[in-house]
Amino acid sequence: MTDDHNWSAPGGPAPQVPPSASGTPPVYGPPGTGAPNNAPPSPAPPGAPPPSAWTPPPKPGLIPLRPLDLGTLLGAAFRVLRRNPRPTFGVALLVQVVVTVVSLIVIGGPTIASLLRLQTAAPEDESAIVAGTVAFGLFSAALAGLLGFVANAWLQGIIVIEVARATLGEKLTLSGLWGHAKGRVGALVGWSLIVGLALGAAVAILVLAVVALVSTLGPLGIGLGVFLGIFGGFGLLVVAVWISTKLSLVPSAIMIERVRIRAAMARSWSLTRGFFWRVFGIQLLVGAILGIAMNVISAPFSIAGAILGALVDPTGAGTQTAVTVVVIVYIVQLVITLVLSAIAAVISTAASSLIYLDLRMRKEGLDLRLTAYVEAQQTGTDLANPYLPDSTAGTPSAPPVA
């Protein structure tokens, strides 16, 4: 039996390779690399991760720059209040107070005046006074509603910009946020009015159809009117939920991408394609959380007010003390409602803005563009607005966009 070291390949002897000094077999590289390398690999610096170690995505501010899971998105929506409370919660509370006070003055003042006039009016003048009060009340309500649309649209624009800039690690004052929002609030107000008018027109058409059936067909019309009211109302609700979900990202597109209303509608419709149930589910969950929290917080005050009123005036005589207690309880409940409404407005708008960013990260790789922007900002390089959906956004040669 021959020794294995004396085996020769056909056509010539095998090359003799001397063993290494350490006794370990030599390691050969690819052909043409020369002599084998027997040197051990150089040790990594102390504390350095291995070459193949996974590193989490950067988180310069509000959220990590990656597609968001449900917990991260919900947590970030609630964290907007704590991160920059003055231009978010403060402005939201101011808007709620102004809208409520103006609405009470515009609607409540004429109503109280007409009621006092009815007490001293002649019987033949009562119908005219009631008709004038109703007409003026409808006009006042429309005026207060218009003010509410404008104020809430302005607030919505501020919150959307806050979420977008906070994602990049920026913490701006109200004037800084307004500088980014300037020029787009008008479009946002227009969109709010379009939504309100469309919803009002749909409800008015349904009501008029029911009234027409009842008034023209008699007993048969009553049954048809009830049927149309129930199933038509349900169908209108389903359609409204579907369309509102598909167009829920319009405010974010208007403010962040600075596009017109029509382009923002197309943008929201495109981004939600394939993600309808995710968008609807998150918005429904946020609304349920806020609704339950508001009821849980406000219910004890309502119960305590009723109990206190019964204790102060158990006979219902309407004494001065009882009236004072009722007024104080009403004011306390109003303040609590305003605070909770301001919190709900900030969180719901922030959640919609985060959904918009999440869908752009999933569909367009926005997270990569934002990461490049943040890294360039740390080196002192001015880049264009990374949220703009064009080929020049996020490149060093593009001028910065406010």
Quick check: is 125 in a domain? yes
Quick check: is 117 in a domain? yes
What does each C-alpha distance from 64 to 165, 169, 236, 268, 358 come to in angstroms?
13, 10, 39, 23, 11
Quick check: is 233 in a domain? no
Total tally of structural domains belonging to the chain: 1
Place of tokens 């290494």: 20
Quick check: is 308 in a domain? yes
Tens digit of each residue's pLDDT, the chain (402 residues): 444 444 444 444 444 544 544 444 444 444 444 444 555 555 556 655 555 555 666 778 889 999 999 999 999 999 998 888 988 999 899 988 988 888 888 777 777 777 677 666 667 666 776 777 777 777 777 777 777 778 888 888 899 999 999 999 888 888 888 888 888 888 998 998 898 889 889 988 988 988 888 888 777 778 888 888 899 889 999 999 999 999 999 999 999 999 999 999 999 999 999 999 999 999 999 999 999 998 898 888 878 777 877 777 676 666 677 778 778 888 888 889 899 999 999 999 999 999 999 999 999 989 999 998 888 888 877 778 888 876 444 444 333 333
**Lookup: tokens for 96:** 């709620």
Query: Cβ atoms within 10 A of the Cβ of 77, count?
Result: 25
Quick check: is 38 in a domain? no
Quick check: is 89 in a domain? yes
Quick check: is 146 in a domain? yes
What range does the domain containing 334 cover?
A: 70-182+275-374
Can you give the pLDDT at residue 301?
80
Can you give the pLDDT at residue 30?
46
Can you give the pLDDT at residue 271?
94
What's the pTM value of the predicted model, to 2 decimals?
0.76
CA 44, CA 135: separation in Å to the nearest integer?
82
**Lookup: tokens for 395:** 């490149």
Can you give the pLDDT at residue 306?
76
Can you give the pLDDT at residue 11?
47
Quick check: is 247 in a domain? no
Can you give the pLDDT at residue 6?
46
Can you give the pLDDT at residue 59?
79
Query: Cβ atoms within 10 A of the Cβ of 73, count?
Result: 20
